[in-house]
Amino acid sequence: MMKLFFYGIRFDAFSIAVCNILFIVISLMPFVFANNVWLQKINNFLFLLFNSLFLLTNCIDFGYYPFIRKRSTFDTLNQLLGGQIDVGTLLPSFVKDYWYVLLLYIVLLYVFIRAHNYLLRSKTPLTGNYSGVQKLQISVVSLLILGVSFVSFRGLARVPIQFIDAGKYASANYIDIVINTPFSILLTMDKTNLSEIKVVDEQVAFNTVNPIKEHKDKTFAKKNVVIIILESFSKEYTGLGKSKSYTPFLDSLMQHSLVFKNAISNAGTSIEGIPAVLSSFPNLMPNPYINSSYSGNQLTSMASLLKDEGYQTSFFHGGTNGTMNFDSYANLSGFVNYYGRTEYNNESDFDNNWGIWDEPFLQYTAKTVNTYSSPFLAAIFTLSSHHPFKVPEKYTNKFPKSSLEIIESIGYTDYALAKFFESAKKMPWYDSTVFVLTPDHTSISNDDFYNNDVGHHQIPIMFFSPSDTSLKGFNNQLIQQIDIMPSILDYIGYNKPYFAFGNSVFSKQPSKYSIHFNSGNYYLTNDSMYYVFNNLNLEQVFNYKKDSLLTQNLFDSANKYRKQEDYLKSYIQYYNKTVINNKTHL
């Protein structure tokens, strides 16, 4: 740990230099007017302001990191400043739940300001009248400070510092200790654009991804499709986990569904999870696709494909309209209707945080869908199992609790889900519908396995059709979120070619690996092995079935794992090229 902290000085030096560059420049200006009292006051104010803000970002990650498992990036600021999150509404609950973080920040800020004021008082007043010797001394000191600042700005190295440099000192699991949050934010400010790479033959890259899907031998049944995306429903909380289940209804539905026990999320956040599930699009870049410069691309989605086949397409999310730009994504991806807090139009069911409570909004969803003519596609995204993990007052103490705050709200959403299916059973569209249930991502855990990077991406994925008993049983086959779209299209018999990064679990060529990206690193997972890549170079290999805590790195020879390394390079080469050139569609 001490070694990681020591190596982290490179990244700290960069952040400190960037944070104080304006202060340093003003302080060292070789002009008489630089001694002006008001300019000095402004400069001191800027010094305190920028350092306080940079310090704040680190403190925020004390609370936020356990949820997203990475340092905050520029996209986090973009969501806050861009109005995608209603900070004014959510701030009181954040302050209440993370008061200790706020207290720590206040203490650090107090010490910082007191130290600054003490040094300021001890400084010799500037007169502007210097002897030749003094001018020489000032010049030498100024050049020294500029030199140190320049070297720090480059991360104490000859070339500008990058995320990948952290890999020199730590494995992928510990990179977030080496870097700091300001560094993560600053380095992702100019990382919205991907770079084309060419490390393998173009045809090899295309064949590896195999993005053109077509289910030629199928008859299009045009069944209704309902995709329910459950906020933060980790596998750990369900009957598929290795301890107590908190989802009695979901567990009961599993007995009548095709359940994939080895399901992996491609996403770490909601804004990454929605395109993964609905567009078969993994987020393999620093900033989420929805907020990236590529968000205007023509992205294939289930909605765009089925809309052309006469499906009525709707996206239901009880959150405040505009949250994380979900409404914009829904519109761009082919959903004709969007239903949010505004459309619900009943503030008595507002949870005073994110939007409408799950139970009433799911009932509203069922009634709205009941007005549709078949066939239709409805994507439903729940929200109550999100921080601050509250439940309606009338359900206080109704659901189990644990040391994890989220558990009570998981129980509430499971209950709301039961009520939704209870209502849906009475409606004429129910029997001719296929339901898919999946989380957007996972959440916090106290378990060592679910806290490591493999366990943190373990989710339940299930397919249920009331009229089809063949969709039943527990399956150990690998499935990832980006496989959901091609799997549904295969199941309902959609027989036209389309673009997808995932593969159908019902096909002869299901996905070999799941893939995700985090803090500049790529990760591959299959049914038992876990591969960690620093940039495109394989660094760690674990058999997580035998070594669930990832303690034994099996990597010893690049040749032994050449197949996995070639697979990743081909995948990323093709992914970057198609995204950059707006070719993620036919």
3-state secondary structure 36-89: CHHHHHHHHHHHHHHHHHHHHHHHHHHHHHHHHCCCCCHHHHHHHHCCCCCHHH
Question: Are residues 84 and 326 in contact, defined by beta-carbon separation less than 8 angstroms?
Answer: no
Q: How many domains does the chain have?
A: 2
Q: What pLDDT score was predicted for residue 329?
A: 85
Cα dihedral angle (352, 320, 282, 443), rounded to 10 degrees? Answer: 10
| pLDDT one-digit tens code per residue, 193-209 | 788 899 999 999 999 99
Residues 146 and 242 in one domain: no
Maximum Cα–Cα distance for the chain, whole Å? 94
Residues 168 and 211 in one domain: no
> What is the DSSP secondary-structure string of 426-494?
TSTTGGGEEEEEEESS----SSHHHHSTTGGGEEEEEEE-TT-TTS-EEEEEEEEGGGHHHHHHHHTT-
Does 194 map to a domain?
no
Does 104 map to a domain?
yes
Residues 112 and 74 in one domain: yes
Question: Position 557: which residue type?
Answer: S
> What is the DSSP secondary-structure string of 524-543?
EE-SSEEEEEETTEEEEEEE
Among 188, 222, 247, the domain boundary falls at 188
Residues 261 and 174 in one domain: no
Residues 245 and 173 in one domain: no
C-alpha of 305 from chain center? 26
Using CA atoms, how far residue 28 sits from 34, 106, 150, 300, 414, in Å, is 8, 30, 14, 54, 62
Residues 334 and 464 in one domain: yes
Q: What pLDDT score was predicted for residue 272?
A: 92
- Residues linked to residue 264 through DSSP beta bridges, in sequence order: 458, 480
CA 64 – CA 62 distance, rounded (Å) = 6
Does 501 map to a domain?
yes
Q: What pLDDT score was predicted for residue 542?
A: 94
Residues 211 and 163 in one domain: no
CATH number of the domain enclosing 218: 3.40.720.10
**Distance, first Cα to last Cα, the chain:** 49
CA 273 – CA 281 distance, rounded (Å) = 9
Question: Position 168: which residue type?
Answer: K
> Token digits for 551?
């303690």
Q: Residue 356 has what DSSP assignment?
A: B
Q: Say which residue the tokens 């096909």 belong to.
A: 507
For 91, counting Cβ atoms within 10 Å of its Cβ (0-12 exposed, 13-18 middle, 19+ buried), the class is exposed
Residues 230 and 150 in one domain: no
Using CA atoms, how far residue 130 sits from 136, 137, 160, 253, in Å, is 10, 10, 37, 83
C-alpha of 574 from chain center? 22
Count CA atoms within 13 Å of residue 479 on its CB side. 28
Q: What pLDDT score was predicted for residue 287?
A: 80
Q: What pLDDT score was predicted for residue 26?
A: 84
Does 585 map to a domain?
no
> Token digits for 481?
């979120």
> Token digits for 205?
């890259």
Residues 162 and 213 in one domain: no
Element (H, E) at 273: helix 270-279
Residue 556: strand, helix, or coil? coil
Q: What pLDDT score was predicted for residue 33?
A: 66
Give the residue among 63, 148, 488 at the shortest CA–CA distance from 301: 488
Does 198 map to a domain?
no
Residues in Cβ contact with 182 at an 8 Å cutoff, skipping those fewer than 6 apart: 15, 18, 19, 54, 57, 58
Mean pLDDT by 10 residues, the chain (586 residues): 91 92 85 74 91 93 80 75 67 85 94 89 64 79 88 79 73 80 83 80 94 91 96 94 92 97 93 94 88 78 94 95 83 90 94 93 97 96 93 94 93 97 97 97 90 92 94 94 97 95 93 89 92 89 93 84 92 94 88
Among 160, 188, 216, the domain boundary falls at 188
Give the residue among 82, 68, 128 at the shortest CA–CA distance from 441: 68
Among 124, 157, 188, the domain boundary falls at 188
Question: Are residues 555 and 539 in contact, defined by beta-carbon separation less than 8 angstroms?
Answer: yes
Q: What pLDDT score was predicted for residue 155?
A: 81
Does 264 map to a domain?
yes
Taking the model in full, what pTM does it have?
Answer: 0.80
Beta-carbon count within 10 A of 402 CB? 14
Buried b / exposed e along 349-383 (16+ C-beta atoms within 10 A)? bbbebbbbbbbbbbbbbbebbeebeebbbbbbbbb
Does 558 map to a domain?
yes
Q: Which domain holds residue 291?
A: 203-580
> Token digits for 271?
């804004």
Count CA atoms within 13 Å of residue 97 on its CB side. 16
| pLDDT one-digit tens code per residue, 334-388 | 899 999 999 999 999 999 988 999 999 999 999 999 999 999 999 999 999 998 9
Residues 227 and 168 in one domain: no
Q: What pLDDT score was predicted for residue 190?
A: 63
Residues 419 and 394 in one domain: yes
Does 487 map to a domain?
yes
Residues 172 and 208 in one domain: no
